Copies of this chain bind each other. A is one copy, B any other.
Amino acid sequence: MARPTNRATSFDVAALAGVSQSAVSRAFTPGSSIAEETRQKVLEAARKLAYVPNSIASSLTTKRSNIVALILGDMNNPFYVHTLHAFSRRLQEQGRQVLIFTVDRGADADEAILHLLAYQVDGVILTAAQLSTRMTSLCHERGIPIVLFNRYIPGSDASGVRCDNAAGGRLIAEAFLAAGAKSFAMLTGDPKATTSADRVRGFVERLLEDGIKRSDIISVEGNSSYDAAFNATVTLLTDKNRSRPDALFGINDIMAMGALDALRYRLGLRVPEDLMVAGFDDIPEGRRTPYQLTTVRQPINQMVEEALSILHLDEPNRPIERGIDRPISGKLIWRNTIPVPPAYRWPDGLKGGSESEP
């Protein structure tokens, strides 16, 4: 395609918009202070003159690309879709954009890291997969901060933000126990991910403390997906050699939703009367009328803010934060899938149902 021979400059834009050249620069600089009206004038003039600031040319000087890589697993778990949305919205407000890298289930992120380094990203957010210490060092040596989201990697000096998943697993165990459950099943996710392993560990530990026998706690692979959890629930509950457990813990909400639908619509069971169910995450989908899922809320917006503060993209010359692992407490949200014991004392503002995340 022919390119325009006379490219408009920021001087032309400033003249047409009736503002200073510095205002033009600020209109296109992330996080700059500029009146919205002035910004609109600049954008309108830029539009008329087909002026486009070249941030890649400028990134060669400033070493900033304004691109942040986000490594995602599959998008079948809405929790990660909401995570992506939250990061994209916040970063875009700062004049940055998200570059997506998808990693297959069970794969490590090393190859994705090699590729993303070629894009000169300003930072990396890892929401799925494992990461070798070598790849972490490779990013850090190049001055590219990494933040792990909703996970940690033992022995790695990559920093991370996560919910205290073990403590959350304990909360679910306590809710089931308070409602009188004596036998339990768990639908688990990727065994290599700390997220699933920690929830399982906290849940089981708390049950054992209460004198529950290990043989009364069944673990079933649910693949972190609705469909796999649905099918695993049908298989588990139609096994003639097993008695029906009192309580089923989907270690994330999307699996608990699959289990609920299998119990009610395939197996004709009532929840919570015949069997209680709980999830983890508090995704908006689990709050819908047919589900009203009792769960542990992950404070996703708070986690996104903390993750971005660890990356400190606005201060690239500050040393990279290493080895931070600051677990955030999740909150138990009572809804309708575990009977609330009469003696239960409601924590402040947590009577379940219609509240949305603050």
Contact = CB atoms under 8 A, between A and B. Distances in A.
Interface of A: 1-4, 28, 43, 46-47, 50, 52-56, 65-67, 74-75, 81-82, 84-85, 88-89, 92, 95, 97-102, 110-111, 114-120, 134-135, 138, 140-143, 226, 230, 261-262, 264-266, 288-290, 319-320
A100 B97 contact: yes
Contact of A92 (B54, B89, B101): B101
Given A1-B143, A102-B92, A138 B50 contact: yes
A66 B98 CA distance: 14
B28 A118 contact: yes
Contacts of A47: 110, 114, 134-135, 138
Given A100-B100, A320-B1, A262 B290 contact: no
A257 to B, nearest CB: 9
Contacts of A319: 1
A118 B55 contact: yes
B98 A2 contact: no
A99 B97 contact: yes
Given A118-B56, A120-B56, A265-B290, A141 B88 contact: no
Contact of A3 (B111, B119, B142): B142
B88 A100 contact: yes
A253 to B, nearest CB: 14
A348 to B, nearest CB: 25
Contacts of A92: 101-102
Q: Rank and list the top 10 A-B pairs by shortest CB-CB distance, nearest first.
A: A1-B143, A55-B118, A52-B117, A265-B289, A75-B85, A98-B100, A56-B120, A99-B99, A97-B99, A88-B102
A116 B96 CA distance: 10
Tell which of A95, A114, A140 has the most Cβ of chain B within 10 Å.
A114
A70 to B, nearest CB: 8
